[in-house]
Structure 1
């Protein structure tokens, strides 16, 4: 049996040091820290969940810090129930074994569930805004005028993997169309993980074909 903590380091997370210290004093052998750049995929969270075993304990600052909605929360709780993993949420004051916060009532739990969506939205919007500002002020080392084709393609792949917007990639790469960017990403077999699409743009429909044009991927 092992105790482990998880913290998503959201922007303006003022309680990070205090929460980490709480977890360490509680006996967590490790506190997994997820950086804001990985908010959309949460690779550290997924890896941690996959390694939990029967009798382990997982400590989070709040459920809204660890999961991104009620569906994820339900899946997480069900997973821990099946695996017999104890969950402790510090600021929600919830212990799945009912020992640490005996004063927590059903009303408190329902209030947590009711406010989860709003808390997650605020958290994600704040983090996304901070990451966008960081990306926008970065100055690329090379511009399209001095990049060879290979450098240009590598730059496109690196920028996409690091979370830059397609508009930012277009500005640096010198390409004029999104389809060119997605053609390069597909060439290098990059896992497209934004929006509803996972490939380059298709041909636009002509007028008269239901009056619709294909949507563009993000």
Structure 2
């Protein structure tokens, strides 16, 4: 069981250092920081979701900072329920174990749900606007690609944790889905959905009887 934190580094987010310190004081073994340039795909977030184990604790700065919409929040809550992961949101003052913020009321939780779409929209608009301004001053910075080992580990972890091939393909950076199957076959992953099941093997030449 481990505690891990997550923060999306939005350009307009000025509580980054304070939230990181809160997470460290709470005992997080790692604070995952998602770069603003990766807002659309959130590869670090997806890798973190795939890596969570039973009994772990996930700490986010704020739900509107971690997820992109109410659907994403519902998926997060469901995943944490299935994996028995304790979920803590610092600024929303929500702890699914009910210990850190005992004074939080049901009305405040419902208010958080209602305000989330607007907060997410403001955060994304602000980040996008600042990035556009930066790009007019200097050439766009090329995104740092994941190493080959990191990419293959992410593909395997996401497949084993139920992500669709489309989701995996979007994060992988590959040009074709066949590369996804190649990686899964390389690591002997049991294929339990899609057009095939069981490990893929190359077709053998006609055998002589």
Q: TM-score range by the shorter chain?
A: 0.5 to 0.7
| 2:96 equivalent to 1:96 | yes
CA distance in 1, matches of 2:70, 2:77: 10
Distance change >3 Å, CA 20–CA 139, structure 1 → 2 = closer
| 2:55 equivalent to 1:49 | no
CA distance in 2, matches of 1:37, 1:189: 18
Q: Report the CA distance between 1:139 and its aligned residue.
A: 4.1
Q: Report the CA distance between 1:9 and its aligned residue.
A: 0.6
Correspondence for 1:122: 122
RMSD after superposition: 2.0
| 2:136 equivalent to 1:136 | yes
Q: Report the CA distance between 1:136 and its aligned residue.
A: 2.3
Q: Report the CA distance between 1:25 and its aligned residue.
A: 0.2
CA distance in 2, matches of 1:32, 1:50: 14
CA distance in 1, matches of 2:82, 2:103: 26
Correspondence for 1:108: 108
Q: Report the CA distance between 1:99 and its aligned residue.
A: 1.1
Correspondence for 1:58: 58
How many residue pairs align between the two structures? 148
CA distance in 2, matches of 1:13, 1:139: 23
Q: Report the CA distance between 1:3 and its aligned residue.
A: 0.1
Which structure has the greater CA radius of gyration?
Answer: 1
Correspondence for 1:183: none
Correspondence for 2:152: none
The equivalences for 1:20-35 within 5 A come to 20-35=20-35
Give the conservation status (yes or no) of the 8 Å contact 2:5–2:23: yes
Correspondence for 1:178: none
Q: Which has the higher contact order (CA 8 A, sep 6+)?
A: 2
Q: Report the CA distance between 1:12 and its aligned residue.
A: 2.2
Q: Secondary structure at the match of 1:102?
A: coil
Correspondence for 1:206: none
CA distance in 1, matches of 2:139, 2:59: 39
Give the conservation status (yes or no) of the 8 Å contact 2:12–2:123: no
CA distance in 2, matches of 1:189, 1:31: 27
Distance change >3 Å, CA 109–CA 133, structure 1 → 2 = same
Q: Secondary structure at the match of 1:37?
A: helix
CA shift digits 1:89-108 (9 cap, x unpaired): 00000001111111011000
Q: Structure 1 runs of 4+ off > 4 angstroms?
A: 188-191
